[in-house]
Structure 1
Amino acid sequence: MPANRLPASPARQATLAKLRPSRIESVLHRIAVSPHGSLGLVVRAGEDASLSRPGDLPPEVVAAFDTSFVSGLVMLASSRWQSLVAAWPAEFPYFRDYARQYFTALCRQYSPSVKKWSAIAPPDQATAEELLQSAPPMLGLEYLSPSRLQELWQELDTHTRSAARQHAEGLAGYLKSLDPDWNLIGRVTLHLAENKKNPAAPFAFMATYTQGQTKDGTPQHLPLSDALRQSITAKDATKLDQLLEPVSRAARSCKLVDRLLESRKLFTPQAWGIGQAYEFLSSIPAMEQAGIVVRVPNWWNASRPPRPQVSVKLGSKAPSRFGVDGLDLQVGVAVDGEPLDAAELSQLLAARERLVLLRGKWIQVDQDQLQSALRHWQDLRKQHLKGVDFLQAMRLLSGASIGDAGDEEDLNRWARVEPGEWLQQTLQALREPSTSNEIDPESVVEATLRHYQIDGVHWLWFATQLGLGVCLADDMGLGKTLQVISLIALRKRHQASTRDDAAPCLIVVPTSLLGNWQREFAKFAPQLRIFVAHRSVSSTEELKRVETDPTKQLADVDAVLVTYGMIRNAAWLRKLTWRLMILDEAQAIKSPNAAQTKAIKNVPANCRMVMTGTPIENHLQDLWSLFDFCSPGLLGSAADFNRFVSSKDEHRRAQRLASLRKLIRPYVLRRMKTDPRIVPDLPAKTEMRVDCGLTAAQVTLYRRVMEDLEDALETAAGIQRRGLVLATLMQLKQICNHPSLYLKRPQFVAKESGKFAELGRLCEGINEKQEKVIVFSQFQSMCEPLSQFLTEVFGRPGLVLTGKTSAKARGKLVNEFQEPFGPPFFVISVKAGGTGLNLTEACHVIHFDRWWNPAVEDQATDRAFRIGQKRNVLVHKFVTSGTLEERIDDLIRSKRQVSRDMFDDSGEVNLTEMSDDQLLRFISLDLTKATST
């Protein structure tokens, strides 16, 4: 980024300065929503192309956003940036349009000459929800809500009111300073009213302008002819020309206004027929765009004019076999939900005008479009005499015409597709699982489930019983694993009662989560028989028997655990049709052309589901790949989907995003830790172990140090032996972190460390959610390499605190981190920052290496988990599998059951008192665990 584009904010200047190295290909400003709902401008590097387009902000716009988010929106709304905004990331045009809606509403409601004006009412709940549904992917989109959009409107109104009071010329002057055209908006109003006394000319037209205000403070409307007379009397057309500027603009794009202005009929009331009235109503968007206020009868809404629509109902009756015989499809024509009889339909189709008086109401009719839409749906019904399957029904309900021709998409505007009684009840059960009492999840697991987890199991049960492929997308820490285990236990009970002999469930997980799934199964559902198809758990002989005859060997198994890394070479997985196939951390298949993804999609299963804790709508191509696995065909082909979401027309793209969200809604369950309904049910702190592997380089070094210790122990004794053991343990811990830490090399290559791989995977999800993280290491020399790596992951720099950080700098770093849009991560050495810091902006704590003293780790964790923390804190403890780290962790976990001589007086694990044989066995390398994929 050129130096002259640096914003005024010192914090952002520092961010940009740190992002300048050549490894960062691009730097862009983005609008982000924080977990608290704050809106702000942030800097991102190496952006995903699906989220943004080329181009960055001019310095004036960045400076406005630095003042406040609302100040930035006000600047965006000005026509000065109209031609540039389209090239910026999609959220900028979205918020620009929202701000312009506010100013348009302001100018329509009040004249700039009015000195006192009340608040401009924000969009109602339904409108705000529609606006949210059409929002483009953006950072933290899941934290944007209808109520937050309404608050933003009020913030715009408060800002404008304050700025207008401070301006010498009041509101008019302020608007003019922002955009020369705005102070003219709202001065001219064109009125259309019904004239029921004249059937030949049932409409009346009149033009007015605002001049001053009445005693109650509302604008005073005068006939536009008065302004014409005043101009003639004063022999000065300047004021009239200025007043008519919006009309002149409208005339350039609207033939009706051009004729009215040219003929001067604009200045006299007119009696209009149906054709003239319809032309006026159809021209409303162009007139309003030019700055003219339009007043029409309440029955007309320019964005949703009253019109007859083909009424389509899907699934009124329960199908005999779900997804086989299909859902019934009924077709008719209705107005405002009221069905028309044959005579009324004939009247509409025979009418010559585009406005027709029916049942005492004027409605818009496009006979050709209505006829085409009716024919389209009648043909569709004939093609599906045996019914429509659920997947197609969802696409029809959502209006997401993925893969359809453009004219077919237009036809959908003349149709209203609704679920029938049975389908409505089914969708209601998917939307509100808490209403179900069909099952009792707590009866099959040894756990007390929280209310939202019970709801989740109900939802999973109902969806999978219907055969739907779904996505459990709860926030990290809400217990997705427990919910899935409960589902499998319920299915086992159901299988026993129905004598179902289907194959077991297949669960595909990252290697780092394999141990966690084993522990969770053993803890919560010990009655389930689990086979771990992995050489770190099962013997070579067991694996060979399963590969040879999986049907026989797995006959009594309830679930099989495998890792992503082994899918491609495990041909035996494709010999069975699995009862249920589950992908944990399903973003692993986000690349549809990857060999691993293709292999996974080729495994046969009766039903499929995915689990992910990251927002799935922010990367649309990833979304397609996930649903291509769990509900193939729902989102069409990759090419069709890409065309569908890549429309260059902003309005059409917004409509398509809204229909896409409606389409996938029944298939996705996502609850967030910030949801007020969930917060009271959350534990204050959740600890989880993250199992990490070793790279080849780490294995080589680990073995070498082990061999050196074995040789040295033959002659070492007493204090020398104790020092030798302590030094070796420290070296092994360094190797588990990164080879460069042990070798004292300046370069830390990420791919050389298993922990770096897990750190990147974990922090990608944290970054997606706009959350913050503290990373602790006991090695001061580890902190800067971690910071450099995390800068790549987050796309912006974070903070580092070590023993070298001065007391004054510590306070500054803490304040910077505590800002809502401050640095996303804080790397801290345990000794330097384990106490005395208040970092409640973080809701994740990562112990990159272990202190081996639980009390010290807890003290460090409490930097985030303390008074002022309003969210659940997730503590991730990294442990390298098959090494001394895993055995130390097991010791700490079972401290109350082991001999006290394994811990010293401070509570730290004490290994120096072990015999040589005990020590060597304890720190030995289990290669199958450490290097398995």
Structure 2
Amino acid sequence: MSLSLIPVLTPHGALRLEAREDEAPLDDAIAARLAAYFSRGDGHGLLHLGLAEAGADLPPGLAFWRGFAMRFVRLLCLSLEAASEPPSAGVLSELVDAAPPMAGGEYLTAHILVAAWGRMAEALRLELAESRNSLRDFMAGADRRWRLVGRVHLNLAENRRDPDFPFAFMATYAASLGEQGGLRHAPLAQALRDHADDKRKLLELLEPVSHAAERLDWLKEIVDAGEIFHPLRWTPKDAMRFLESVETMEASGLIVRMPASWRMNRPSRPEVEATIGSNEPSRVGVEQMLDFDMRVTLDGEPLTQEEIESLLESTAGLALLRGKWVEIDRERLKATLERFEAVERLADKEGLNFAQAMRLVAGADIGAKAAPADAKWGHIDAGPWLAETLRACRDPQAAGEADLGAALKADLRPYQKAGVQWLALLTRLELGACLADDMGLGKTIQLLALLLTAKSRAPEGGASLLVAPASLLANWASEAERFAPSLRVVVCHPAFMAGAELKAVTPDSFSAADLVVTSYATLLRLSAFAETRWRFVVLDEAQAIKNPNAKQTRAVKSLRGQARIALTGTPIENNLRDLWSIFDFINPGLLGTSKAFADFVKRLAAAEPPSYAPLKRLAAPYILRRLKTDKSVIADLPDKTEVPAFCALSKKQAALYEVAVDELEQRLKQADDDIARRGLVLAMLMRLKQICNHPSQWLSDGAYEPAQSGKFARLAEIAETVASRQEKLLVFTQFKEIIAPLERLLASVFGRSGLVLHGDTPVAKRKDLVKKFQEDETIPFFVLSLKAGGSGLTLTAASHVAHFDRWWNPSVENQATDRAFRIGQKRNVLVHKFVCRGTIEERIDQLIESKRQLAQDVLGGGQEIDLAGMNDRDLMALVRLDLDAAMKEA
């Protein structure tokens, strides 16, 4: 695998280049130029990307930014003032929709493009001043083609008084500004007289004409004959030839002007139009059949069969119909008609199911038997019922109210209510859904609310199945008990169910449940899951099925349910293979087969210009993604969200833990006095903490293999999600010796180094570390000792805080969390509190979080739990290992 430069859009809207592994590396010369351009800042990089890289072979992400930059440069060809204003909001919105998948693509908005436009303008101002050249010479220095633009105008006009030659052609040039500020046009012949004394100026003026004539035979003929300097009478065939050459002429620097009656500089064009889904189908689901209706129109008015046939007989490319000139490419029109008629025959014979209809409406012809291939001559629209359904799917606020009653023991935020409404709508339609909200926005509670809604609507609807990583099963059980206690939840997993009971599970075992929770690995072992017809099949951390050939992916996709739901906080729009696999689960067939989808994506990338809008239109109704950086969401967020990060123990950790507990029990019996006993307890508790972190921390062997620690594995999972969002992470630990291993682990996940701070860090250096973390977007994480970094620092660049080992003092932990959650923080802060299940860590966490009155009874000074003061029986109950809960992950 080779390295290539790819554009990365940061959460703050800056564009930078990163070296990544890629199957299609950039040409070395291009890569070197781009690196040099962007080293001065993204404004300079974009400016030169548009000025100097026209025609270069670039990957989709860079090609998109080049196209954006070239819009700026084209306006520069007119004047500096023309380029000072960014494109309209509509144009910017279209650019966002057409953008290809790219790192940070979820942050791309019209506002980001406006800001980038402004940085290009500022870069141009600086570089013009440095070069001391005119704008024209500056642009020519980057690419000579830019100085060809904007002088000569080629004009086509209607001449209704001459039926044999109904068009007229004239070449003019913009001689000067008129009194009213408009351009004063003169016949090109006038230029010969105006510049008789300035041959250089004349040659410069005529160079675009010469450049275009080299590529257009018809233009070369009239230039060589000197007819370019005179008005010409043209036939419709001549005019059509001119119309087909517009792109070449404009690329050469000529300005093309069409008849004033032609909208958007083009004659009217007949279109084949069709609507799908005008009426509500008799049933719901991906296989529901929709109606199809087609017609041929001109400017919105239907054409008669005789008019259609007359257009198809035209050979000139332009035909006069209903008193107006009509552009006609009979081969393309005929092919489009045939494709639409094939769809119509398919609809009449077999019917069009929802998946086929969605592909046609989106213009995404993924493996379709007959789909329109030329959007210039035909389009398919959603009919009233389908349009309203899609509107509700795309806008959760329009999805209708979801009735939760008093069953949910929580108050949903507005965006969460909208999410439940959206899920309820899609599941009622028996369509799959992907809830891809950012980490910390409450996907769990939205899913629980949906289950309560479904139960209230149809109490006998059966159980739903939720498949999640083993490390998250305890979270789901805990959250369901807390927020939806009326749901009957069964956790099918060795950590929650005896082995014999688990082996005896059959479909009848789920009859009394509302929700069955299991892990991906357990799913492979029990046939009862595949034999059951579920209400909903839900995947948590759905990126687990991104490999379509994996056993667990195949097992998941074999599950039967009324509707399927995928939950993921990891962006899927940046990797199209992951997108296909998840959609193949939630809505099988919508994106076609894997091969058909891959071919479709290749066609999108090869289009001129490349546009991924059809794919986005097709997928958008079934993906709901809200970001913490979205102001419409963050206004409704709590300031801080704390979630437990439950971890299992490795076999080595469990063995060391049990030895330590046994040793504690024996030595407690031998303790002579209270001081010795307290010292023994505190030392042993510290040992248990170290074992829970990593065996190497207690053994001091320096190995620190990530696979030997459940906490290391869980931290890597969280860091992967944070890295995919280009966000920042703070990790607090009370142990200096584990800081370096944590830094190595995180560096391997993020792909770059972070920062560390502990008691030995010089005080003078700490300010520099904080400044670097706050200001440098390339620094992804900061590992700090709780004592050295737990107070006095402002680290609001981070929106994630991980307490790797617990201080067991809420005030100390909160003080550390407040390094990120403080004045200046503009995003929701998500706090991950690491807890090893089945150990003293879980019991202390329960003591703090769930039994606050009991906690108050044992709280010592400063709110620290006084474990050393407990009696032997209570202490041993607290520290003893629950082996099943601690170790079994699969």
Q: TM-score range by the shorter chain?
A: over 0.9
Tell me, yes or no, if the aligned pair for 2:490 and 2:516 is still in contact at 8 Å. Answer: yes
**Which residue in 1 is equivalent to 2:257?**
295
**Which residue in 1 is equivalent to 2:381?**
418
**Which residue in 1 is equivalent to 2:467?**
508
**Which residue in 2 is equivalent to 1:101?**
71
SS for the counterpart of 1:644 is helix
**Which residue in 2 is equivalent to 1:742?**
698
Tell me, yes or no, if the aligned pair for 1:314 and 1:329 is still in contact at 8 Å. Answer: yes
**Which residue in 1 is equivalent to 2:42?**
69
Cα deviation, 1:123-155, whole Å, max 9, x if unaligned, reads 223322221122121121111112322343344
Tell me, yes or no, if the aligned pair for 1:472 and 1:609 is still in contact at 8 Å. Answer: yes
Which 10-residue stretch deviates more, 348-357 or 863-872? 348-357
1:894 paired to 2:850: yes
Q: How high is the TM-score relative to the length of structure 1?
A: 0.90
Cα deviation, 1:759-793, whole Å, max 9, x if unaligned, reads 12111111111211111111112222212211221
**Which residue in 1 is equivalent to 2:883?**
927
Cα deviation, 1:201-232, whole Å, max 9, x if unaligned, reads 2322222334454456655544332334466x
Shift, 1:512, TM fit: 2.0
Shift, 1:298, TM fit: 5.5
Q: Measure, in 2, the Cα distance between the counterparts of 1:766 and 1:899.
A: 33
**Which residue in 2 is equivalent to 1:776?**
732
Q: What code does the residue aligned with 1:625 have?
A: S
SS for the counterpart of 1:381 is helix
SS for the counterpart of 2:189 is helix
Match for residue 35 of structure 1 among 11, 27, 49: 11
Q: How high is the TM-score relative to the length of structure 2?
A: 0.94
Unmatched tracts of structure 1, length 5 or more: 1-24, 111-115
Tell me, yes or no, if the aligned pair for 1:452 and 1:678 is still in contact at 8 Å. Answer: yes
Alignment CA distance shift 1:164-1:256 (3 Å) = farther
**Which residue in 2 is equivalent to 1:365?**
328
**Which residue in 2 is equivalent to 1:813?**
769
Q: How many residues align?
A: 886
Q: Measure, in 2, the Cα distance between the counterparts of 1:137 and 1:55.
A: 23
1:530 paired to 2:478: no
Q: What code does the residue aligned with 2:109 have?
A: S
1:316 paired to 2:290: no
**Which residue in 1 is equivalent to 2:476?**
517
SS for the counterpart of 1:138 is coil
SS for the counterpart of 2:274 is strand
Tell me, yes or no, if the aligned pair for 1:28 and 1:56 is still in contact at 8 Å. Answer: no
For residues 169-208 of structure 1, what are the structure 2 equivalents within 5 Å? Answer: 169-208=133-172
Match for residue 145 of structure 1 among 102, 109, 116: 109
Alignment CA distance shift 1:726-1:645 (3 Å) = same
**Which residue in 2 is equivalent to 1:4?**
none
Match for residue 703 of structure 1 among 658, 663, 668: 658
SS for the counterpart of 1:428 is helix
Match for residue 513 of structure 2 among 539, 557, 563: 557
Cα deviation, 1:849-906, whole Å, max 9, x if unaligned, reads 1111111110111111000111111111111111111111111113532154532212
Shift, 1:607, TM fit: 1.4
Shift, 1:183, TM fit: 2.5
**Which residue in 2 is equivalent to 1:427?**
390
Q: Measure, in 2, the Cα distance between the counterparts of 1:219 and 1:96.
A: 30
Shift, 1:647, TM fit: 4.2
Cα deviation, 1:654-698, whole Å, max 9, x if unaligned, reads 23x211110011111112222222222110111101111112222
1:758 paired to 2:714: yes
Tell me, yes or no, if the aligned pair for 2:336 and 2:372 is still in contact at 8 Å. Answer: no
Tell me, yes or no, if the aligned pair for 2:604 and 2:610 is still in contact at 8 Å. Answer: no
Q: Measure, in 1, the Cα distance between the counterparts of 2:632 and 2:791.
A: 33
**Which residue in 1 is equivalent to 2:241?**
279
Match for residue 872 of structure 1 among 828, 831, 851: 828
Which 10-residue stretch deviates more, 287-296 or 810-819? 287-296
Q: Measure, in 2, the Cα distance between the counterparts of 1:364 and 1:717.
A: 103
1:630 paired to 2:614: no
Q: What code does the residue aligned with 2:367 have?
A: G
Match for residue 243 of structure 1 among 181, 196, 205: 205
**Which residue in 1 is equivalent to 2:404?**
441
Tell me, yes or no, if the aligned pair for 2:212 and 2:248 is still in contact at 8 Å. Answer: yes
Shift, 1:346, TM fit: 2.6
Shift, 1:307, TM fit: 2.1
1:92 paired to 2:72: no
Tell me, yes or no, if the aligned pair for 2:343 and 2:371 is still in contact at 8 Å. Answer: no
SS for the counterpart of 1:599 is helix
Tell me, yes or no, if the aligned pair for 1:646 and 1:653 is still in contact at 8 Å. Answer: no
**Which residue in 2 is equivalent to 1:354?**
317
**Which residue in 1 is equivalent to 2:688?**
732
Q: What code does the residue aligned with 2:838 have?
A: G
**Which residue in 1 is equivalent to 2:221?**
259
Tell me, yes or no, if the aligned pair for 1:29 and 1:41 is still in contact at 8 Å. Answer: no
Shift, 1:435, TM fit: 2.8
Alignment CA distance shift 1:698-1:251 (3 Å) = farther
**Which residue in 1 is equivalent to 2:668?**
713
Q: Measure, in 2, the Cα distance between the counterparts of 1:306 and 1:745.
A: 79
Q: What code does the residue aligned with 1:98 have?
A: F
**Which residue in 2 is equivalent to 1:491?**
454
Shift, 1:748, TM fit: 2.5
Cα deviation, 1:716-752, whole Å, max 9, x if unaligned, reads 3333332222222222212211222222233422222
Shift, 1:711, TM fit: 3.5
Cα deviation, 1:155-188, whole Å, max 9, x if unaligned, reads 4345435654675443223323333332232223
SS for the counterpart of 2:833 is strand
Q: Measure, in 1, the Cα distance between the counterparts of 2:213 and 2:638.
A: 63
Tell me, yes or no, if the aligned pair for 1:284 and 1:302 is still in contact at 8 Å. Answer: no
Alignment CA distance shift 1:300-1:723 (3 Å) = farther
Alignment CA distance shift 1:58-1:630 (3 Å) = closer
Q: What code does the residue aligned with 2:305 have?
A: A
**Which residue in 1 is equivalent to 2:602?**
646
SS for the counterpart of 1:528 is coil
Cα deviation, 1:805-836, whole Å, max 9, x if unaligned, reads 22232122212212262311111111111111
Cα deviation, 1:558-577, whole Å, max 9, x if unaligned, reads 11011112111111111111
Q: Measure, in 2, the Cα distance between the counterparts of 1:270 and 1:399.
A: 41
Q: What code does the residue aligned with 2:791 have?
A: T
Tell me, yes or no, if the aligned pair for 2:488 and 2:512 is still in contact at 8 Å. Answer: yes
Tell me, yes or no, if the aligned pair for 2:2 and 2:23 is still in contact at 8 Å. Answer: no
Seq. identity, %: 43
Cα deviation, 1:352-372, whole Å, max 9, x if unaligned, reads 221223344433211122122
Tell me, yes or no, if the aligned pair for 1:285 and 1:302 is still in contact at 8 Å. Answer: no
Q: What code does the residue aligned with 1:92 have?
A: L
Shift, 1:199, TM fit: 3.3
SS for the counterpart of 1:384 is helix
Which 10-residue stretch deviates more, 643-652 or 591-600? 643-652
Shift, 1:706, TM fit: 2.6
Q: Measure, in 1, the Cα distance between the counterparts of 2:17 and 2:736.
A: 29
Cα deviation, 1:271-295, whole Å, max 9, x if unaligned, reads 2221111111211112222222222
**Which residue in 2 is equivalent to 1:464?**
427
Q: Measure, in 1, the Cα distance between the counterparts of 2:137 and 2:29.
A: 30
Q: What code does the residue aligned with 2:833 have?
A: K
Which 10-residue stretch deviates more, 567-576 or 673-682? 673-682
Alignment CA distance shift 1:513-1:609 (3 Å) = same
Alignment CA distance shift 1:310-1:520 (3 Å) = same
SS for the counterpart of 2:138 is helix
Which 10-residue stretch deviates more, 779-788 or 583-592? 779-788
SS for the counterpart of 2:565 is strand
